[in-house]
Structures are given as structure tokens and as C-alpha cells.
A and B are shown apart, each in its own frame.
Chain A
């Protein structure tokens, strides 16, 4: 467990260091994700069910929602600004989010049908 947690933090740390050194526009944890992914291509056994890394990742991802709660509570700081532009800002957020969801899913499904990419893993 501790080894797995150390591995996750090490990937993040290298990611943060690379992001800063190379002035990349990508956050450190996302680079860490790519590094761990490449590591798993090299040693896939670490991702098997029951392996410590898979267990720790499973716990973290099962409660991903919890991890957004502190940042989400930060809304209280800007409640004033949000209310001041209330209807316009809220309309923009709601319409844009709905439209983005719909357009993304629609284009995905249409292009998948066009190139014969099927949703199930069997060929």
C-alpha cells in the first residue's frame, strides 16, 4: 500500500518538476498520469486486480467526488460576483454545458459509426 502510494506521489512529483522545468501548460498530475500509464504498458501486472497499486487507485477513484468538495466549497467566496451577474452568467453556464455535452456525444457517435469503431471490445 505504502509503496503504491509512494509511486503515485513520485509520478506526480516528476510531473510537477517537468511542468515547471519545461514551462508546460499541463498540470503536474496530468503529466504524472501519462508517466504512470507508460509504466503500466511496460509492467502491466501492477494493474491487475488485487495488486497494491490497483487497490490504492481503486480507493482514490471510488471517492473522486469527495476530493472536489473543498474546492467546490470555494464557491462561497465568489457568491457575490455570481449573484451580481446572476441570470446571464447562469444561463451561459447551463446552456453551454448542455450544448457541449450534446455536441461532443453526437460527434463521437457519428464519427464512430462512420469509421466502424464499435462500443464493445470484441472485434
Chain B
């Protein structure tokens, strides 16, 4: 009796697993669960919703032996919204523009110092560990938003898809670290905290900044945009040193 039932379940699974609906639903469900956990822990930085949702999904994909490409067929609908959401960052930027205009010098100074630190420290530490040159090229633009980082990586001989992974890992690390680090450094200026989050950890850092404070979010968005430009110019120069 059970054997035909199992085949039926299997047939259903084969159908569902290939359908975008399943993986779109699973992506949203994983995020809902991650959000609940994050809220349950009082938005503790370690309970980062992106980190939890990615861990859940990675476990599910591995357990069901689902290729990433199949998963992305469904998840792409969520991924697509990154474009319009980036455009929408114009609103908080517009709202906090008076504050931004008064901080032009701190913004430019922090931008140069931060962009330089991000590239030199990442490539320097990795080179000290004997990591080979193509890997260094993929690592160099890790603090920049994925679309720009992949372009930089391609130009200097890195593997763009590996860069995308390192970018995401950096984003999650930055979003997790920024609050405890700023508290430890006794930095109470939301502009500086947000700017640092957006510069070091691009969109994921910006998402974290919006979670904490709207001014921090606006400054994170500026940092993310500007760092993309500066890093694109800096990386080819710095990589010649290693």
C-alpha cells in the first residue's frame, strides 16, 4: 500500500521542485522565519535575518540536492526587486539631504580612507596567508555592491561569481559586526555609523543601517554608491603592489 503512495509523493516532488513557485515560496518562508528569530532575539546583531535565511536555504538545498540554478528560477523574482529598491534609496537620500550637504568633507575623507583600507587590508592579509593571485583579484572589490564588484573582478582577472560570493559574505559579516564594533568604539554619530556600514558592507550593511536608524540608512546608501566608484578606480592600482 505504501509503495504507490511514495511514488506519488515523488512525482509531486519532481513536479514542484522544478516549478518556480516552490522556491519562491520557500525563500519567503525562510525570510519570515529568519525575521521572527531576529525579532525574538531583540534584533541582536548575530541574529541577522539575511544570515539566518541563507543558512536555512543552504541547508534545504543541500538536503534536497537541489541545484542552485533550479532554486534561482523561483528566487529570481525576489532578486529582481533589488533594482527598483536601489532606485528607491533616492527617497531617504532626498529626505536627509540637508544633513548630507553639511557633511561633505567628512563624507569625502571617510570615503577615501575606508575604500583604501577595504582593498589594502583584504588583499594584504590574504597575500600573507599565501592565497594565490587570481583569488586576490576576486577578493579585492569585496566591500563593493555585487554588480560593480563583479565588473572590477572581471577586469583584473578574478572569477566574477566567486567575487559575488565574497561580496555577500563581507556584507553579512559587516552587518553582524557593525553595531558591537561601533558600541565598543563609543561612536554615537549615526551618520558615521551608517556611512561605515554602507562603505564596508554595501547593500546588506545598508539594510542593517535602516533597521537601526533612518539617518544611518541614508548615509549608508551614499557610502555604498560612492564606494563603488572609488573602488573601481583604486583596485587596479593597488593590485599592482601585490
Contact = CB atoms under 8 A, between A and B. Distances in A.
Interface of A: 5, 8-9, 11-12, 15, 25-30, 32-37, 39-41, 44, 47, 53-54, 56-58, 60-79, 81-82, 85, 87-89, 91-109, 111-112, 114-115, 117-119, 121
Contact of A72 (B54, B62, B86, B229): B54
Residue with the greatest number of chain B CB neighbours at <10 A, chosen from A36, A37, A75: A75
Contacts of B228: 26-27, 30
Given A28-B83, A100-B143, A111-B109, A76 B201 contact: no
B148 A25 contact: yes
Contacts, number: 322
A74 to B, nearest CB: 6
Contact of B189 (A54, A62, A108): A108
Contacts of B92: 61
20 contacts: A33-B86, A33-B225, A39-B90, A61-B88, A64-B206, A64-B210, A68-B203, A70-B76, A81-B165, A92-B122, A93-B166, A96-B117, A97-B177, A103-B117, A108-B109, A108-B191, A109-B187, A112-B192, A117-B105, A119-B192
A22 B77 CA distance: 28
Nearest to B101: A117
User: A interface, by DSSP: helix, strand, loop or mixed?
Assistant: helix
B103 interface: yes
B74 to A, nearest CB: 9
Main DSSP-derived SS at the B contact region = helix
A92 B130 CA distance: 11
A64 B54 contact: no
Nearest to A79: B58
Interface string B165-199: 11011111110011001100101111111011101
Interface residues of B, number: 110
B135 to A, nearest CB: 6
A37 B195 contact: no
B137 interface: no
A98 B181 contact: yes
Contacts of B217: 61
B85 A105 contact: no
B139 A78 contact: no
A71 B131 CA distance: 25
A67 B139 contact: no
Given A88-B129, A108-B189, A8 B87 contact: yes
Which of A67, A118, A121 has the largest number of chain B CB atoms within 10 A?
A: A67
Interface string B75-86: 110110111111
B142 A96 contact: yes
B4 interface: no
**A76, A78, A97, A119 interface centre (most CB from chain B within 10 Å):** A97
B58 A76 contact: yes
A82 to B, nearest CB: 7
Contact of A69 (B54, B68, B148, B215): B54
Contacts of B181: 98, 101-102
Contact of A108 (B81, B110, B139): B110
Could you say which of B109, B162, B177 has the most chain A C-beta atoms within 10 Å of its C-beta?
Answer: B109
Given A69-B78, A119-B191, 12 more contacts: A65-B50, A69-B54, A71-B82, A85-B135, A89-B166, A92-B123, A93-B122, A99-B117, A102-B181, A107-B106, A108-B192, A121-B99
